[in-house]
Amino acid sequence: MARYGIPQISTGDILRAIKNDPVKAQTPKASMAKDLMEQGLLVPDELVNELVANRLTEPDTQRGYILDGYPRTINQAEWIDTHLSAARTSLPLVAISIVVDYEQLLHRITGRRISPAGRIYNIYSNPPAVPGICDVDGSTLTQRPDDTEAVFIERMKTFNTQTAPVVEHYRKQGRFREINGDQPVEAVSEAIMTALQALRST
């Protein structure tokens, strides 16, 4: 985001914002989405595609954007591919898959703690100075309801059945790179930048 001055669009963040909004959370669609998220299942493609379509009409997306956690099914991938070609955007879609092994992911997910302002800690790899308290503003850290081991197992099953085919979809298209996510943050960032530069010039 900082290097290119473009926004990150996380469908998970958008869905959590709806879930936590006292008014929006009341709709049947929102309460269905909440149930699915808490079970580690995907919310319906039509709902997610509509959220992405709306977000992409905002002016800060004109110069590009990072889609994070989307597309997660072949239907979503086909929808965004079609949407972008219909929009005749000059921005080519490039796909990056960050690969981390099962045990490491389990620790990242079950150890994750979040501050109300969105700062992310990990009790194993990046703990706050005082357990449960944000170093920066002293707020109380919380855990996402789907960051338990039981839901993690379901999320991994969902990934393997529904999202792994999306990786193959973009691998076949060529504008795709795989990055080793099991490195320090700076090394992962550099690997992403190198991949992006290579993909943008193809």
Residue 144 or 171: the one with the smaller Cβ distance to ligand AMP is 144
CB 49 within 8 A of CB 76: yes
**Contact (CB, 8 A) for 65 and 56:** yes
- Residue 148 CB, nearest distance to ligand AMP (Å)? 12
Place of tokens 């995907």: 42
- The closest residue (CB) to ligand AMP is 12
Cβ 145 to ligand AMP shortest distance, Å? 10
- Which contiguous run of DSSP H or E holds residue 98? strand 95-99
Toward ligand AMP, which CB reaches closer, 76 or 191? 76
Q: Which is nearer to ligand AMP, 133 or 192 (CB)?
A: 192
Q: What is the nearest approach in angstroms of ligand AMP to the Cβ of residue 32? A: 11
Q: By the criterion CB under 6 A, which residues form the site for ligand AMP?
A: 11-12, 15, 36-37, 40-43, 48, 69-70, 72, 76, 146, 155
Whether the upstream peptide bond of residue 71 has omega within 30° of 0, thus cis, is yes
How many residues would you count in the chain? Answer: 202
Nearer to ligand AMP, 21 or 190 (CB): 21
- Tokens 């193809």 sit at which residue? 202
Q: Copy the structure tokens of residue 33.
A: 């989405």
- CA gap 14, 186 in Å, rounded: 26
Q: Running DSSP on this structure, what letter comes out for residue 133?
A: B
Q: How far is the CB of 112 from ligand AMP (least distance, A)?
A: 10
Nearer of residues 106 and 133 to ligand AMP, judged by Cβ:
106
Q: What's the closest the beta carbon of residue 51 comes to ligand AMP, in angstroms?
A: 9
